[in-house]
């Protein structure tokens, strides 16, 4: 009996048909190093082959967009020569295999995307999803991911300014770790990735190349998980924030002195991706001498060197005259640098090892000729079933009891167990810190402010991908509007299951449609995104979990932006926006009190969304407190204000169900006086006073008791 060996391309995660494409393209069998390059560059993670044809639905056309999707980060114009760069990325699979390093390298990778554009990274936001904390392994994953983000972000010197967290059963074996980063730069510092100038040199900066992370993009990020996948641990990269900090400072100095023609970070697929992208984007070619790469260990094959995903590396394209100065700046910042190639007229990317040609491929083919799949989609059978399970909400409620249970939920309770582990103050820009709807940053020396919110809602998206995804966009818009910012640009991270499952493809396509529509309704350009598929373990797909990162912008920023801790005794409470309309599908009430998930989320009126968001941003210039009503409804939102401000409230008599209704486009406004000047529907519902949360006929609970429950929800589960 002979043992049939698995073909090399299958081991590298490539299908037979894709292998045939490569042989057709090259006109011959690929060399080992070439096969390695195509396998990674054509992986789902790098090529977006299952989603690409649908991503064109997103609109990035607005006059303030400087760089749209396709570069390392989106860039928008903030006026007076200021630009902002933003990007979101996922590090889902690595974080499951090794949570600390998986999350840490996710932070490192997204920061490189930002400073590749010439921007100084000034903030990071994390959207993370886990299985229920009752399971030991999920606690281990949360603990590890948070320590990884803290360990890397704090040490690299970029504040972590917020994020969101969700817990649901289907993330138990497939946690989601999405990281968004924001940078700012002056207009003349913008750098792009396209190489130009035949004879210019390619200089590899930063960490030595080792055997870590080989195949991370293809083997880890583009495949489903099965039992025993801990063996994939060597595919996880290892991060060194100290090296990255030096690399950031060195690169910013290179830009400042105008010493680079183009630059590209090394992420998924390492050198093969960076060289082919920078050459391909510029319509050029490149000759690469693989022996010149500074290595961490001897004996690496050319394929391994090309595929290694060792962290903290950048590839700069430099004119020959400037090479000495670049090397001297690198040396001053104590980072390694080696000249590994030169730009050619192209179109070939040629890689040499020991004087032998080990790869010769059309540079652009690695990115441009990647397969694009129009995968079949099918409306999922579960929809009719869940829509029939309308949430059961009694008319008479004991609000104290219900609120207590909601506040004890780890996704609703105080999240400062997480945010206090993150440096969220560095750079002295943080005006509104994590723990609010959106964080607000000032730009020192100007009157400008930037607000950011990351949002996702996998359960609602599961019940209706189109409506659920649209609502995330509107919620994130409101979360920045409460600071006074108007929604200005969005990045999205599409986390879905196995795209070879037609029902998953349907979820993806519907969610894209919902998000794209919502963005158009409020004139927000989509300036970048990331797609993470194959989030499936042992045959179970995750809940569809699109996540958005919204950048808001205000100029001038309010002198005293609304905060949750500014309510005072005697201030009135209004609710502005929509009337509650019995929206309990995927509500906290149904999830926690009924332990059920069903019904269909309400549709959103685009015109109302536009009006409420604009009115909210306007009110931010006069109201002490504005707070979006979301998970847990009015009762939870009011309680959060009470906890932060240290004052209770008394509500007028309301239908009990309205306290926990999650109808979107509603904002609490708190301020002095008895009338509110705004053009959208609004109603005064009570007063902040005393030390009791008084829900009229629905009951009451003492402020201290409620706050104790809220404060302990997460720490109690983690200890």
Partner 1 sequence: MTTAVIVFPGTNCEQDTEYALNMVGLDAELVWHRDTDLSGADSVVLPGGFAHGDYLRTGAIARFSPIMKEVERLAATDVPVLGICNGFQVLCEAGILGGALVANQDLKFICKPVTVRVASTDSVLTAAATVGQVLRIPLNSYEGNYITQDSPLQNGDDHVILRYCDTDGSLTAAANPNGSAHAIAGIANSRGNVAGLMPHPERAIESILGSADGRVLFESFAASVSAVKA
Which position among 333, 534, 553, 649 is part of the footprint of partner 1 (CB under 8 A)?
Answer: 333
45 is catalytic: yes
The β-bridge relationship of strands 313-318 and 262-265 is antiparallel
- Report the residue number, 9 or 424, with the smaller CB distance to partner 1: 424
Question: What are the tokens at 692?
Answer: 């009791």
Given the rule CB under 8 A, which of 6-14, 86-94, 275-283, 428-436 is the region that contacts partner 1? 428-436
Catalytic, out of 9, 91, 627, 656: 91
Other CB atoms within 10 A of residue 352 CB? 18
Instruction: Report if residue 296 touches partner 1, rule: CB under 8 A.
Output: no
> Does residue 416 touch partner 1 according to CB under 8 A?
yes
Tell me which residue of 495, 540, 535 sits closest to 96, measured CA to CA. Answer: 535
By the rule CB under 8 A, 150 interacts with partner 1 = yes
Segment near partner 1 (CB under 8 A); pick from 89-97, 236-244, 631-639, 664-672: 236-244
Q: In what order do the strands lie in the sheet with 526-532?
A: 430-432, 439-442, 449-456, 545-554, 486-495, 526-532
Instruction: State which of positions 490-549 bind partner 1 (CB under 8 A).
Output: none
Query: Which value, in Å, is the radius of gyration of the alpha carbons in the chain?
Result: 26
476 is a site residue for partner 1 (CB under 8 A): no
The sign of the torsion formed by the CA atoms of 242, 291, 94, 456 equals positive
Per-residue binder mask for partner 1 (CB under 8 A), 299-318, x = binder: --------------------
Regarding 189 and contact with partner 1 (CB under 8 A), the answer is no
User: Are residues 695 and 395 in contact, defined by beta-carbon separation less than 8 angstroms?
Assistant: no
Question: Which one, 563 or 657, has the nearer CB to partner 1?
Answer: 563
Least Cβ distance, residue 626 to partner 1 (angstroms): 18
Judged by beta carbon, residue 524 or residue 626, the one nearer partner 1 is 626
Site size with partner 1, rule: CB under 8 A: 31
Q: Cα angle vertex 316, ends 310, 319, to 5°?
A: 155
β-bridge partners, 599 = none
Kindly tell me which of 241 and 282 has the beta carbon lying closer to partner 1. 241
Q: Contact between 431 and partner 1 (CB under 8 A)?
A: yes
Stretch that binds partner 1, among 151-159, 219-227, 352-360, 696-704 (CB under 8 A): 151-159
Residues 6+ apart with CB under 8 A from 34: 22, 26, 358, 359, 360, 361
Least distance to partner 1, CB of residue 9, Å: 40
Q: Looking at 36-44, 150-158, 540-548, 636-644, which segment touches partner 1 (CB under 8 A)?
A: 150-158
Distance of CA 656 to the CA centre of its chain: 36
Q: Identify the residue among 241, 468, 487, 664 touching partner 1 (CB under 8 A).
A: 241
Among 130, 422, 643, 660, binds partner 1 (CB under 8 A): 422
Shortest approach of partner 1 to residue 613 CB, angstroms? 25
DSSP 618-647: HHTTT-SEEEE--TTHHHHHHHHHHHHHT-
SS3 assignment, position 239: coil
Comparing CB distances to partner 1, the nearer of 291 and 555 is: 555
| 351 DSSP assignment | E
d(CA 432, CA 425): 10
Q: Parallel, antiparallel, or unpaired: how do β-strands 285-289 and 348-353 relate?
A: parallel
| 345 binding partner 1? (CB under 8 A) | no
Tokens 């959207």 correspond to: 127
Closest of 297, 235, 370, 305 to residue 36, by C-alpha: 305
Q: What number of other Cβ atoms are within 10 A of residue 399's Cβ?
A: 22
Residue list 441-460, contact with partner 1 (CB under 8 A): 442, 444
**Binder of partner 1 out of 71, 164, 309, 423 (CB under 8 A):** 423
Residue of the chain from 34, 240, 277, 304 that contacts partner 1 (CB under 8 A): 240
- We find the least distance from the C-beta atom of residue 248 to partner 1, in angstroms, to be 10
The binder of partner 1 chosen from 51, 101, 116, 154 (CB under 8 A)? 154
Active-site residue, selected from the candidate residues 9, 45, 93, 656: 45
Cβ 653 vs Cβ 607: under 8 Å: no
Give the residue, chosen from 8, 26, 55, 155, that forms a contact with partner 1 under the rule CB under 8 A.
155
- How near is the Cβ of 484 to partner 1 at its closest, in Å? 13
Considering only the stretches 97-105, 148-156, 345-353, 620-628, report the one whose residues sit in contact with partner 1 under the rule CB under 8 A. 148-156
SS3 annotation, 52-104: HHHHCCCCCCCCCEEECECECCEEEEEECCEEEEEEEEECHHHHHHCHHHHHH
DSSP state of 578: S
Residues lying near partner 1 in the complex (CB under 8 A) are found at 150-151, 154-157, 240-243, 245-246, 332-334, 416, 419-428, 430-431, 433, 442, 444
Catalytic residue annotation:
45, 91
């Amino acid at each position: 009996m002979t043992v049939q060996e698995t073909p090399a391309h299958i081991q590298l995660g490539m299908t037979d048909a894709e292998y045939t494409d490569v042989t057709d393209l090259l006109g011959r069998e690929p060399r080992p190093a070439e096969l390695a390059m195509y396998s990674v560059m054509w992986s789902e993670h790098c090529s977006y082959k299952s989603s690409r044809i649908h991503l064109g639905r997103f609109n990035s056309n607005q006059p303030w967009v400087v760089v749209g999707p396709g570069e390392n980060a989106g860039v928008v114009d903030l006026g007076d020569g200021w630009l902002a760069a933003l990007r979101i990325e996922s590090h889902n699979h690595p974080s499951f295999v090794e949570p600390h390093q998986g999350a840490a390298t996710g932070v490192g990778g997204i920061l490189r995307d930002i400073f590749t554009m010439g921007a100084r990274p000034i903030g990071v936001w994390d959207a993370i999803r886990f299985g229920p904390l009752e399971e030991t392994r999920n606690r281990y994953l949360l603990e590890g991911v948070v320590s990884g983000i803290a360990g890397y972000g704090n040490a690299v010197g970029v504040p972590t300014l917020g994020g969101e967290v969700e817990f649901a059963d289907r993330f138990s074996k497939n946690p989601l770790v999405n990281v968004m980063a924001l940078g700012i730069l002056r207009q003349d510092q913008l750098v792009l990735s396209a190489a130009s100038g035949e004879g210019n040199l390619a200089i590899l900066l930063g960490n030595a190349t080792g055997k870590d992370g080989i195949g991370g993009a293809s083997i880890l990020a583009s495949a489903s998980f099965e039992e025993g996948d801990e063996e994939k641990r060597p595919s996880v990269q290892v991060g060194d924030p100290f090296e990255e900090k030096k690399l950031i400072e060195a690169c910013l100095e290179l830009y400042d002195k105008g010493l680079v023609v183009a630059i590209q970070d090394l992420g998924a697929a390492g050198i093969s991706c960076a060289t082919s992208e920078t050459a391909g984007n510029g319509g050029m070619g490149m000759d690469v001498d693989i022996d010149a790469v500074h290595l961490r260990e001897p004996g690496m094959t050319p394929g391994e060197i090309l595929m290694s995903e060792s962290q903290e590396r950048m590839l700069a394209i430099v004119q020959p005259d400037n090479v000495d100065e670049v090397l001297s700046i690198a040396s001053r910042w104590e980072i390694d640098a080696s000249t590994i190639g030169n730009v050619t007229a192209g179109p070939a990317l040629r890689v040499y090892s020991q004087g032998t040609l080990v790869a010769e491929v059309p540079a652009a083919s690695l990115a441009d000729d990647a397969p694009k799949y129009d995968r079949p989609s099918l409306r999922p059978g579960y929809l009719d079933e869940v829509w029939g399970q309308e949430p059961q909400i009694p008319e008479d409620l004991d609000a104290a009891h219900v609120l207590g249970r909601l506040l004890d939920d780890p996704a609703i309770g105080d999240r400062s167990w997480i945010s206090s582990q993150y440096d969220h103050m560095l750079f002295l820009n943080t005006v509104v810190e994590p723990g609010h709807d959106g964080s607000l940053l000032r730009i020192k020396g100007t009157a400008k402010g930037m607000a950011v919110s990351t949002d996702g809602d996998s359960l609602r998206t599961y019940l209706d991908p189109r409506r659920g995804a649209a609502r995330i966009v509107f919620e994130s818009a409101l979360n920045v509007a409460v600071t006074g910012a108007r929604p200005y640009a969005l990045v999205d991270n599409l986390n879905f299951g196995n795209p070879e499952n037609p029902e998953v493809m349907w979820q993806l396509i519907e969610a894209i449609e919902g998000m794209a529509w919502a963005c158009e309704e409020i004139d927000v350009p989509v300036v970048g995104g990331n797609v993470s598929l194959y989030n499936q373990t042992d045959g179970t797909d995750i809940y569809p979990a699109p996540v958005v990162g919204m950048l808001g912008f205000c100029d001038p920023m309010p002198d005293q932006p609304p905060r949750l801790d500014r309510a005072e005794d005697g201030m009135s409470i209004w609710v502005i926006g929509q009337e509650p309309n019995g929206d309990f599908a995927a509500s906290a009430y149904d999830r926690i009190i009924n332990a059920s998930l069903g019904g269909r989320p309400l549709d959103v009126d685009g015109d109302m969304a536009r009006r409420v968001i604009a009115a909210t941003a306007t009110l931010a210039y006069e109201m002490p407190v504005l707070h979006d009503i979301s998970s847990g409804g009015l009762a939870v939102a009011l309680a959060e204000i009470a906890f932060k401000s240290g004052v209770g409230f008394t509500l007028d008599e309301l239908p009990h169900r309205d306290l926990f209704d999650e109808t979107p486009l509603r904002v609490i406004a708190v301020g002095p006086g008895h009338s509110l000047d705004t053009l959208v529907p609004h109603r005064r519902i009570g007063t902040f006073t005393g030390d009791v949360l008084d829900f009229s006929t629905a009951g009451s609970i003492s402020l201290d008791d409620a706050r104790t429950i809220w404060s302990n929800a997460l720490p109690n589960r983690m200890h």
